[in-house]
Amino acid sequence: MNSRNELVRNTVWARELADEEVERALRGVSEKHYAKGSYLCHRGDRYDYWTGIVTGLIKMSSIARSGKAITFAGIGAGGWFGEGSVLKDEPRKYDLVALRDTHLLMMSRSTFFWLYENSVGFNRFLVRQLNERLAQFIASTEYERILDPKARVARNLAWLCNPVLNPDVKELIEITQEELALLAGVSRPVANRSLQALEEEGLLRVEHGRIIVADVERLGDYGARSGFE
């Protein structure tokens, strides 16, 4: 198993940092493991860490006043999240749930702010990350309102392959149909039927406990060319 030193040095943001900045970051990063189904935090909790996923899968979600469950994003291997809450020093406005056994790296707020105030490379990374996350949330609002379930499944898979937000996922997504259903906000049978249809269209291949994506671009645009049928 890789040491914490190696794990930090291999993160997507560490590539932007000078050696002395990485050394400073190392002093403020810890590790933690969460079992499948565990909550990292509930909406309204203080969670003063910028957090990255070494292995596993996290769902960022909330419950509306109507009682409807809303999923904002799924975050996979290599992804980092929570920079907005850390920057604003506010409680989390969503639940964070481990959909499978998950290994995390957790950067303290003080270390995050040291990098934010001293590292040009770290700020370049944050701008890209925040811009991509904004695009994801705008897109999720669109497909929650106007896309059919199969298109929502397709686009959730495409976001998991996003090289900025989930850089270690690439085209092989370690995810079960149950986990995908939770992310897409559909039932497991609907997720199963959707995956079968997408596989028949040549966009992906379903294997036990994982999905191999053949065409990320078409998955990301799924439903757009058909009038959101």
Band of residue 229 on the pLDDT scale cut at 50, 70, 90: very low
Higher-confidence residue of 28 and 184: namely: 28
Name the domain boundary from 136, 166, 187. Answer: 136
pLDDT in tens, 104-160: 999 999 999 999 999 999 999 999 999 999 888 887 776 666 788 999 999 999 999
Domain that holds residue 199: 147-220
> Beta partners for 211?
173, 206
Residues 173, 122, single domain; the answer is: no
Q: Are 219 and 155 in contact (CB under 8 A)?
A: yes
Higher-confidence residue of 213 and 72: namely: 213
Predicted local distance difference test score (pLDDT) of residue 145: 63
Name the domain boundary from 92, 116, 136. Answer: 136
- Residue 49 forms part of a structural domain: yes
Residue 95 is part of a domain; what is its CATH number?
A: 2.60.120.10
Residues 165, 203, single domain; the answer is: yes
Q: Does 70 have pLDDT greater than 50?
A: yes
Q: Does 75 have pLDDT greater than 50?
A: yes
What domain count does the chain have? 2
- Residue 229 forms part of a structural domain: no
- Residue 115 forms part of a structural domain: yes
Residues 128, 193, single domain; the answer is: no
pLDDT in tens, 11-40: 999 999 999 999 999 999 999 999 999 999
Q: What is the 3-state secondary structure (H, E, C) of 1-31?
A: CCCHHHHHHCCCCHHHCCHHHHHHHHCCEEE
Write out the two tokens for 157: 């898979």
Q: What is the C-alpha separation between 176 and 2, in angstroms, rounded?
A: 26
Predicted local distance difference test score (pLDDT) of residue 63: 79
Residue 137 neighbours by CB under 8 Å, 6+ apart = 72, 73
Residues 60, 40, single domain; the answer is: yes
- Residue 179 forms part of a structural domain: yes
172-173 vs 58-63, strand pairing mode = unpaired
Report the chain's mean pLDDT, rounded to a whole number.
90
Residues 12, 119, single domain; the answer is: yes
Please tell me the pTM assigned to this model.
0.85
